[in-house]
Chain A
Amino acid sequence: MKIIIIYFFLFCSTLQARDLGQTEITTDEGVEVYQKEKYYLLKENVEIVSDTFKLNAQKVKAYFEKDLYDITDIYSQGNVVLESNQGLRVLGNEVDYSVKNQNIEVRGKNCFLKNNNIIMKSDKSISVNNTNGKFKLFGSNSQLINDNINIMGENIEGIFANVNGENIVKNLMVEDKKQVNIKTETLNMFALRAEFNNETNIIKLFDNVKIIRNNELITGDYAEMNTLNESYKIRSLDSKRVKILLEKADE
């Protein structure tokens, strides 16, 4: 009878709902706790639910500082889905999350990170630091989408800032050995390297520059594009000339 009572209480404790401020972790294949090394391994169908975030993965390694509850870093593997109540959604094969430094790194094919209105995609890695706003996308098919702008390149680096609940890209640098592509509603720009500064609202394009706007095609070695009024300056650094092609629109 005593055993039945003990089981009943243990069973009840497993059914207990998560309290406010509590983090609940469930796994299908258990937990390995390494006390000296100060980490634990969560195995198979891991789900971590807290007040601020929810994480699903196949395997999770969690480092702690003093006790198990005191998590500092989370390394997740296998179909990772991380969602926060502050508009963050992360998908990837591997996701490293530093609780202390607020740093997120996503690795693997088709990695995805959405931070409110900013969407990041890559086939290799995405890293975002929520404290200083620094971000980096690296690998083929890296893409950054923000409101009406779509940026594609092998290496995208920049800084974002949260202004009135909206993430705004302050600085941006994109480069690609083959071609960088920046698309807005009215412009389609190509170059080997591009830089953007939010204070000046100017996009600088370097090498093999090509700008397509409506029916005009402008090529050169360097261009500056004002994103507010869409005026631009273009020049050729070497002997090549700036070329403008105007196509007659069909009526």
Chain B
Amino acid sequence: MKFKPLLPAMLTCVLLTLPASAQTAAPPVGYVKTVTGEAWVTSAGQNMRAVPGTPVLLGSQLKTLAKSSLGVTFKDNTLMSFGPDTELTVDDYLYAPAQDQLKLGVRLSKGSLNYISGVIARLKPDAVRVATPTGIIGVRGTQFVVQVEDKP
């Protein structure tokens, strides 16, 4: 991920001026469970080195470096783990089964992902989508692995 140097600084300024409640309003949608090598979670413009227990929020970007891996468990028991040189963004996450609000949408821009269905896929299969640069994956209660290579 290449940042234009000014943008993150500007975002940080904006965030710092927000009231504390706005920053902490969104509860985590999952937590990092496994890490090898070096991995990062970027949430609301803040980079956090991933360790077991690091929260993943709606909108978080997950990134692994070379010879590294990362595993995340979401609130609905969906499991996602990543091999080296991987980037994934959590675009949609809604988990309120009692209100029938269910949605899981992630974007894998490069690297490898091992996905295991959780409650969202079981209750509402159409609510799960994994987007990649060349195609969109939908699931019917299962496990899959997917790889995205920038050099086809």
| A, B: real partners | no
